Amino acid sequence: MLKQTLQPDIKELTMLANKTENPAYVGQKAASGFRLAFMLVTTLFFLWGLSYGLLDVLNKHFQEVL
């Protein structure tokens, strides 16, 4: 009787490992939100840098026209 209580139940261990609360699976859905935010910030930063770089060139041409 004592030997039977010391051995783990394989079915119970498998069910525990397959639970969604398993720490290995926590936070995987949140990564998509961070990916979207990162892409948005990166795109906006690129557009800001591009427009800021073109500002001097456009300003020079506008001054020549005036």
- Per run of 10 residues, the mean pLDDT along the chain (length 66 residues) is 63 67 59 88 97 89 86
pTM: 0.47
Q: ∠ CA(28), CA(31), CA(34), 5° rounding?
A: 165
Residues 19, 26: Cα–Cα separation, whole Å: 11
Tokens of 3: 């030997």
Distance (Å) of CA 55 to CA 42, 46, 60: 20, 14, 9
- Ranges of beta strands (E only) in 1-66 are none
Q: What is the pLDDT of residue 47?
A: 97
Residues 36, 40: Cα–Cα separation, whole Å: 6
Q: What is the pLDDT of residue 12?
A: 74
